[in-house]
Amino acid sequence: GDSVTQMEGPVTLSEEAFLTINCTYTATGYPSLFWYVQYPGEGLQLLLKATKADDKGSNKGFEATYRKETTSFHLEKGSVQVSDSAVYFCALRSGGSNYKLTFGKGTLLTVNP
């Protein structure tokens, strides 16, 4: 079945540091890939998405590229801010049941000033 594996947290960085959160997946067919973010006390929000191989999703300075050959969708940001502190979830939606999101376990990011 479908599954998502993302790097274990927590991740602690200083402000302006470079961020990478790894995500790999297993899925049937050609899934759509997502990064969701959950800020403290808030609901899950879509951060970015990519729907086909080699697509790059981007938002708020975050980027992720859909790599079919390595089944990966790593999240990156060149310079993190304290306000980026949150839990980040990688997720997929596969063609077989394209309404259902399959999530990774989440990675807690803390950015210190």
Closest CB to other proteins among residues 4, 80: 4
Token pair listed for 101 = 């999101």
- Whole-angstrom Cα distance, residue 10 to residue 59? 22
Is 91 or 111 the residue whose CB approaches other proteins more closely? 91
Name the pairing type of β-strands 86-93 and 32-38.
antiparallel
Binding of other proteins by 57 (CB under 8 A):
no
Minimum distance of other proteins from residue 77's CB (angstroms): 20
Query: CA 25 to CA 94: how far, in whole Å?
Result: 11
Terminus-to-terminus CA distance in the chain, angstroms? 41
Radius of gyration of the chain (CA): 13
Of 84, 93, 109, 111, which one interacts with other proteins (CB under 8 A)?
Answer: 93
Does 106 help bind other proteins (rule: CB under 8 A)? yes
Contact segment (CB under 8 A) with other proteins among 20-28, 55-63, 66-74, 96-104 equals 96-104
Question: 43 vs 113, which CB is nearer to other proteins?
Answer: 43
Residue 46 interacting with other proteins (CB under 8 A): yes
Torsion over CA of 75, 62, 89 and 51, rounded to 10 degrees? -80
For other proteins, the binding residues (CB under 8 A) are 4, 32, 36, 41-46, 49, 51, 89, 91, 93, 95, 97-106
